[in-house]
Structure 1
Amino acid sequence: MSAPDSSETPPDVHFEFDHRRSAPREAREAIKPLFAPDDPLEEDVTLATSELVSNVITHTDDGGTLDAWDPKPDVPLRVEVADTDSSPAAPVEVPPERGGMGLKIVDQLADDWGVVPREDGKVVWAEFDRHKRDRS
């Protein structure tokens, strides 16, 4: 099951960030209201969100937006990070000491993820399915 069409549902979290080093930390703070105490998704979603925002700061000259939806209980939590760079978001092979692990980390943490090109850039999204994880 995939998340609802995000273009039709207002996000539970909307955060606009500038091109600055503090943006990933600020994004982590912005998504905290999505989680109850001891939520099993919090750590994975927080780290993936931080990586997606870090990618925008690292690979573009601008900021972006973070939107997140948590339409509990049987629809995955969805995070979208948009930027104005039309370059494709793809895992880049660089030595770990130089970074380049962001999308690989997202791939390991999220139940599904992808990229949607837009006229003014792209959206990288990730979904985290509580229902699927509860059965594991």
Structure 2
Amino acid sequence: MKTETPTPTVEFVQRFSATRKAAVQSRLLALHTLDAWGLPRTCPTSESAAQIIAELAANAVTHARLPGRDFELRLTLTPETLRIEVSDALTESTPPPTPAAPSPDAESGRGLFLVDALSSAWGTRPREIGKTVWADLPLLPQ
């Protein structure tokens, strides 16, 4: 009789300076980490994760940046789900629970709309200093 050994939860946490360059670096490092966890860059989960991380990190450094404060990326992989969390230092810039569709000619404003479309669930939670925006991705067959 063959039984499967449950895969333990694995986690990655890294702080980054609140700069555009660091936002790009966070996405690249996350893709490297996912690849090491057995989710290659070309699998649907990693592709969606890269887009979500890019959007959340960009929001953290563009809309929630405080001088001298970093943002944090946390990835948590369970057998069923990849959770992506980006934490920043600004509580006042909490995103709306349901993002509005951007107008076709808008040059920005699509980030959370994409996060909502790509994830199975997403939301925010306050922290002692700042907030965390999280998104869940179900693990898809590769």
User: Which TM-score band (shorter chain)?
Assistant: 0.7 to 0.9
Among 75, 82, 85, the residue aligned to 2:87: 82
Residue 93 (structure 2) pairs with residue 70 (structure 1): no
1:5-84 aligned within 5 A = 12-32=11-31, 33-35=33-35, 36-37=39-40, 38-62=42-66, 63-71=70-78, 73=79, 75-84=80-89
CA contact (8 A) 1:85 1:122 kept: yes
Q: TM-score, normalised by structure 2?
A: 0.75
Contact 1:48 1:109 in 2 (8 A): yes
Answer yes or no: is the 8 Å Cα contact 2:9–2:77 preserved in 1: no
Amino acid at match of 2:65: D
Question: For the structure 1 residues 43 and 18, does the alpha-carbon distance in structure 2 shift closer, same or farther, using more than 3 Å as the test?
Answer: same
Count of residue correspondences? 122
Letter matched to residue 83 of structure 1 = D
Partners of 1:13 and 1:56 in 2: CA distance: 18
Could you say what secondary structure the match of 2:20 adopts? coil
Counterpart pick for 2:109 among 78, 100, 104: 100
Q: Give identity over the alignment, percent.
A: 30
TM-score (norm: length of structure 1): 0.78
- How big is each residue's C-alpha offset from its partner over 1:77-116, in whole Å with a ceiling of 9 and x where there is no partner? 1011001111212247765543121111100111110101
After TM superposition, which residue ranges in structure 1, 4 or more long, deviate above 6 angstroms? none
Query: Which runs of no fewer than 5 residues in structure 2 stay unpaired?
Result: 1-7
CA gap of 1:107–1:52, structure 2 versus 1, over 3 A, is same
Matched residue, 1:127: 136
Larger Rg: 2
